Structure 1
Amino acid sequence: MMSFPGKSMLFLDPEVKVMLNILLPSLLSLIIGADGYYYYTIAECTCSSSDLTDAEYVYSSYFNKELSSQFNSTVGRYVGFDSLGKSNADAWNDGPEIEVQRARLEGLCKPGLKQMYSYLLDKTVKPKVRLTSEPEPSGGHTAMLMCSAYRFYPPDIDVYWLRDGEKVTSEVISTDEMADGDWYYQVHSHLEYTPRSGERISCVVEHASFSGPMTYDWDPSLSESERNKFAIGASGLVLGIILSAAGFIYYKKKSSGRVLVPGSCRVLCLH
């Protein structure tokens, strides 16, 4: 849920349906002794497509948290649900209030919904792309490449593979766009292949946030596991050198204070 000035809120569900809620202030609030009466109204503008063809305006009145009366732009009139609501609905349907409510679909709802669509749903976020490699469990020469695109919006995206500039149409398994639950999406494409010398394999990603297709080349010089082993080995080597140097310096400092050994005829000379 996102909050905006003017007591309005925007709700977006996983199907990207939009509801613009304009919360009107309480029209009546009476407190009598220890008991009380609570009356409030809510105006709602809803639609499920950016062309606003199904936009709807609903004005609801509640008394003690129960729906009392309601105006719906599709119905075009007030409807009462309790004795108070029915009395009010009859009066409002015969008065100037009904024309005010009928005008709010075009004057209030559609401009507000259009602005929200433009402000939020037209935005794009570039995907982050990563290429990884995993060997087959059988230990054979066949490997599996995975091209992952994640944290992008909108969800429409095209991910495919190129081998030496030619689009790969077989041995490819791709997932559907998966929602992360925070407006972002992710998708993964797998390519089963047998490495060949001099071969160029690329992952291509097309998305609304890019000005054109983005190509990511796979570097077969080192696999992911080999890179990790190399990094761990290098880190261990550096750590070993540091510890050896520290030990040597400590030994030199301790040895410089031992010139004569008591009770012995041997003399230790250090230069």
Structure 2
Amino acid sequence: MFQSKLLCVHFVVLISVFSKTDGYYEYQTHECVFSSRDLKDVEFVLSLVFNKFIYLQFNSTVGKFVGFNKFGQFNADLKNNNSAELQQWKGEVDRYCRHNDEIFFSAILEKAVPPKVHVRSLRKGSGTHPAMLMCSAYDFYPKQIQLTWLKDGKPMTSDVTSTEEMADGDWFYQVHSHLEHIPKSGEKISCMVEHASLTKPMIYDLESSVLESDTNKIAIGASGLVLGVILAAAGLIYYKKKATGRILVPH
């Protein structure tokens, strides 16, 4: 999927000369500039730089060397009068740019690896305390990814925290999204993942047994609390009735 209006790929070849005594530094860069995936408009640009100043440059579209100071102009005249060398640099647009750009597209720019996704509970909910849920995506490329929590198919925005995409150090990435939520019986919690490697968003459901377990624990706890209140009230009423019905016998 090529969306950039202008893409400039720098395959930089550093041929440098550095003198510690005088601080002179010279290098050259080879650049491939194009704006479309078919590479029809690709151009090769060779730049010779001395102490950060470009003094000589070749552009395959222009078809010749151009000097930007006296030394550069002198060398440009020499190279432009050498038809063999000039033809060699013109050929770099195919040998260097188109060849390497195809490798760049297939191996880097268009490379896409789908994520491995896990949805699980980190902390069980109890009473009014919410459960902590986590949606994790591992080993995906490129970096950009979107995780969205869903409740019964609708996006959830509150109580959601996400970490930034983290590099694994091997060109792959991972990301984790956390959700604090008080589970309710019968609801469906899911994590929706959107990524360049996927033709459509993928939805991963939290196991219903996890939610049912949390819901059952909350229900049992609440039932126990209500039962305790009822038993305490019944005991108090019974005690008061017994106390009222007693007959005091004088000594």
Q: Taking structure 2 as the reference length, what is the TM-score of the superposition?
A: 0.55
- Measured after TM superposition, the shift of residue 78 of structure 1 is 1.7
Q: Which residue of 2 aligns with 1:91?
A: 78
Partners of 1:141 and 1:195 within 8 A in 2: no
**Greater relative CO (CA pairs within 8 A, separation 6+):** 2
AA partner of residue 206 (structure 2): D
1:82-121 matches, cutoff 5 A: 84-96=71-83, 97-106=85-94, 108-121=96-109
Q: Aligned partners of 2:58, 2:151: CA distance in 1, in Å?
A: 61
Which of 156, 162, 167 aligns to 2:150? It is 162
Tell me if 1:46 matches 2:32. Answer: yes
Report Cα offsets for 1:75-111 as digits up to 9, x if no partner. 5532335654332211223442445434432453123
Which of 36, 46, 57 aligns to 1:59? It is 46
- Measured after TM superposition, the shift of residue 194 of structure 1 is 1.6
- Measured after TM superposition, the shift of residue 117 of structure 1 is 1.0
| Gap change, CA 1:104 and 1:200, over 3 Å in 2 | same
Which of 10, 34, 38 aligns to 1:19? It is 10
Q: Aligned partners of 1:23, 1:181: CA distance in 2, in Å?
A: 29
Q: Which residue of 2 aligns with 1:9?
A: none
Partners of 2:59 and 2:65 within 8 A in 1: yes
Report Cα offsets for 1:185-240 as digits up to 9, x if no partner. 343434342211343322232434457625242434678xxxxxxxxxxxxxxxxx
Identity %: 41
Q: Which residue of 1 aligns with 2:113?
A: 125
Report Cα offsets for 1:151-199 as digits up to 9, x if no partner. 31023434223334x2334426464863528433343434342211343
Give the aligned length.
Answer: 195
Q: Aligned partners of 1:159, 1:64: CA distance in 2, in Å?
A: 47
| Gap change, CA 1:61 and 1:186, over 3 Å in 2 | same
Tell which deviates more after alignment, 141-150 or 52-61. Answer: 52-61
Q: Which residue of 2 aligns with 1:11?
A: none
Higher helix share: 2
1:214-253 matches, cutoff 5 A: 214-218=203-207, 219-220=210-211
Report Cα offsets for 1:46-81 as digits up to 9, x if no partner. 348662577442224468998653213465532335
Question: Partner of 1:87: helix, strand, or coil?
Answer: helix
Partners of 1:206 and 1:214 within 8 A in 2: no
Partners of 1:161 and 1:204 within 8 A in 2: yes
User: Which runs of 5 or more residues in structure 1 are unaligned?
Assistant: 1-15, 30-39, 224-271
AA partner of residue 45 (structure 1): E
AA partner of residue 66 (structure 2): V
AA partner of residue 10 (structure 2): M
Q: Aligned partners of 1:148, 1:176: CA distance in 2, in Å?
A: 10
User: Which runs of 5 or more residues in structure 2 are unaligned?
Assistant: 1-6, 18-25, 215-251
Tell me if 1:70 matches 2:57. Answer: yes
AA partner of residue 204 (structure 2): T
Q: Taking structure 1 as the reference length, what is the TM-score of the superposition?
A: 0.52
Partners of 1:147 and 1:203 within 8 A in 2: yes
| Gap change, CA 1:160 and 1:75, over 3 Å in 2 | same
